[in-house]
Amino acid sequence: MEISTQIGILLNSSVLSIQLFFLTLLFSLPLGLVIAIGRMSKYKIISIPVKIYQVIMRGTPLLLQLIFVYYIMNSILKDYGIIIQRFPAAVIAFVLNYAAYFSEIYRGGIESMPQGQYEAAKTLGYTRSQTFVRIIFPQVIKRILPPMCNEFMTLVKDTSLAQVIAVSEIFYNANSIASTTYTFTPIFIAGVIYLLMNFIVQRCFDFAEKKLNYYR
């Protein structure tokens, strides 16, 4: 098989990887914030289940979670006539997993905010939700950019795990070409594509950090 053909196939399949990447972020970033707030709740009935959720999601392999959502959930839901397709199953597993990681990053950021910001906002008459939205959260974003960048880059690479439930992403195709052509070239090409994607991620974060550098 021509190398250019291989590159073409892999670039085509990278669309699916990129979709998985963005869909995961779209849902897990807000969900992570909700989980972080639940985790910080003073009501144990909320904070303890959330903690258990985090332990399970962060304590078991994403690979296993993918298999769980696709095979086990499907075998359970089959009786109700519900079938989760491969790609949505991957998105669900990624969202649940990454939301757990993001939630801890948010929590770290929120808890690092000085008490004085809350107190100043309170004495100025801001409500609790205004204080969070207008004063606290914008500053949290700046603080969590470095760990978030890490997490985003890991996510780019983790999309390759979706091959375990036969989602036709980059690595799934690289593997199948490699096994039919008996060469490693597709694996290298896949590596270059991941590297390229992460280069873009890194640049975006550099840009965001620079943008928020106007205050300390």
Residues of this chain that interact with another protein (CB under 8 A) are 114, 116-117, 119-126, 130, 134-135, 138-139, 142, 214-216
State the nearest-atom distance from the C-beta of 214 to another protein, in Å.
6
> Smaller CB distance to another protein: residue 36 or 140?
140
Nearest to 56 by CA among 6, 114, 103: 103
The helix/strand/coil state of 134 is helix
> Smaller CB distance to another protein: residue 30 or 138?
138
> Smaller CB distance to another protein: residue 126 or 205?
126
State the nearest-atom distance from the C-beta of 216 to another protein, in Å.
4
> Smaller CB distance to another protein: residue 130 or 150?
130
Q: How far apart are CA 179 and CA 10, in angstroms?
A: 14
- Structural tokens at position 195: 């590297």
Which residue, chain included where needed, has tokens 């707030």?
Answer: 37
State the nearest-atom distance from the C-beta of 129 to another protein, in Å.
11
The DSSP line for 79-108 is: GGT----HHHHHHHHHHHHHHHHHHHHHHH
